[in-house]
A = this chain, B = another copy of it.
Amino acid sequence: MPQSPSEKALIPFVSVENMMRLVHHVGIETMLVELTDVIEEDFRRWESFDKTPRIASHSREGVIELMPTSDGVLYGFKYVNGHPSNKVEGLQTVTAFGLLAKVSTGYPVLLTEMTLLTALRTAATSAMAARHLAPKGAKVMAMIGNGAQAEFQALAMKVVLGIEEVRLYDIDRRATEKTVRNLEGSGLRVTACTSAQSAIEGAAIITTCTADKQFATILTDNMVGAGVHINAIGGDCPGKTELHRDILLRADTFVEYPPQTRIEGEIQQMAPDYPVTELWRVVRGEAEGRRDAGQITLFDSVGFATEDFSALRYVREKLKGTDFYQEIDIIADPDDPRDLFGMLQRAR
């Protein structure tokens, strides 16, 4: 009979079901606020992180990426895919899971689903950036692209920034209807619009979050008025952008990690030395965020490994004292570490 695994060999695994339980236990709005703060905390200690552009494996249908980072104490990585055509087959466009490990031993300490967690951390990152870049007192957000991320974005902007109205547009009317339905009772005024143009009317923040893997023009230059903050999260891999380049020329662009954003973000349309400001410098007060009421600010967000790291360490904290996880036996742990073979033999 196999021996039962020792305690050292067990690591907590958070399934999708347990992640949903955790979110409801904490409260989704509280979780978005707390995640925003944790992500900002890690942006503030940017130089502590071992940073590298994510490692992407591209195919005709999509991309699979590994996003590792480390702060010297913990190491985290996320596995994430992006397959726009998945939704045709009833599958998720983006699914993800992640892991946290101790740097000192390399032993994992947490394995978790990250499809839900990515939606939460992406929304929290957008809210964190908007806190530094959006015009003061912004009350209305346009949300172009009403897919899986839409409600998370809307709620985060509500609880972190005080947004009161979201104006929705999607080329697929059913996506908008789904979002309207889900945001009932959220405390937000929700307006379904029939064009991108009408969605952005009166909006101080414009969030673009569409999924097509191609150069698209969700926003053209004439649509974008002075003073708005653009939260562009859909242009996030090579060949995939959402904004007309003329908008970029009028805006001040803020990014997570330039070596990655120049490959994946809206600025892949621009020259390699196109001027950008790193968001962490704004968070730390070392660079200017919003300068004046007429400035167009653009958060060219592609998603960065530190944001997942922040989310992973947050979940690890929140799990303490709960039963929202299973323990799985993923590490071989013989009594004598050199005796892996003996462990195998004794299991016969």
A residues adjacent to B (C-beta < 8 A): 2, 4-5, 8-9, 13, 15-17, 19-21, 23-24, 28, 50, 52, 55, 57, 59, 61-64, 66, 68, 70, 72, 75, 77, 79, 81-83, 86-87, 89-93, 95, 97, 99, 101, 103-108, 113, 115-116, 119, 146-152, 175, 178, 181-182, 326, 328-345, 347-348
Contact = CB atoms under 8 A, between A and B. Distances in A.
A92 B332 contact: yes
B89 A331 contact: no
Contacts of A20: 2, 343-344, 347
Among A331, A337, A338, find the residue whose CB has the most chain B CB atoms closer than 10 A: A338
A256 to B, nearest CB: 18
Contacts of A178: 336, 338-339, 342
A83 to B, nearest CB: 5
B24 A86 contact: no
14 contacts: A13-B328, A15-B330, A20-B347, A61-B103, A62-B106, A81-B101, A90-B337, A115-B331, A115-B340, A119-B340, A147-B338, A148-B338, A178-B342, A328-B328
A112 B154 CA distance: 37
Contacts of A181: 342
Contacts of A146: 338
Copy tally for this chain in the complex stands at 2
A64 B101 contact: yes
A69 to B, nearest CB: 8
Contact of A83 (B23, B106, B147): B106
B16 A331 contact: yes
Closest 5 CB pairs of A and B: A81-B106, A115-B332, A151-B341, A20-B347, A148-B340
Among A119, A150, A330, A342, find the residue whose CB has the most chain B CB atoms closer than 10 A: A330
A198 to B, nearest CB: 21
Nearest to A83: B106
B115 A64 contact: no
Nearest to A147: B338
Contacts of A93: 337
A331 B92 contact: yes
A218 to B, nearest CB: 17
A95 B113 contact: no
A10 to B, nearest CB: 10
Contact of A329 (B16, B62, B63, B68): B16
Contact of A95 (B103, B107, B335, B342): B107
Given A86-B337, A182-B341, A344-B23, A15 B95 contact: no
B64 A66 contact: no
A192 to B, nearest CB: 15
Nearest to A57: B70
A16 B5 contact: yes
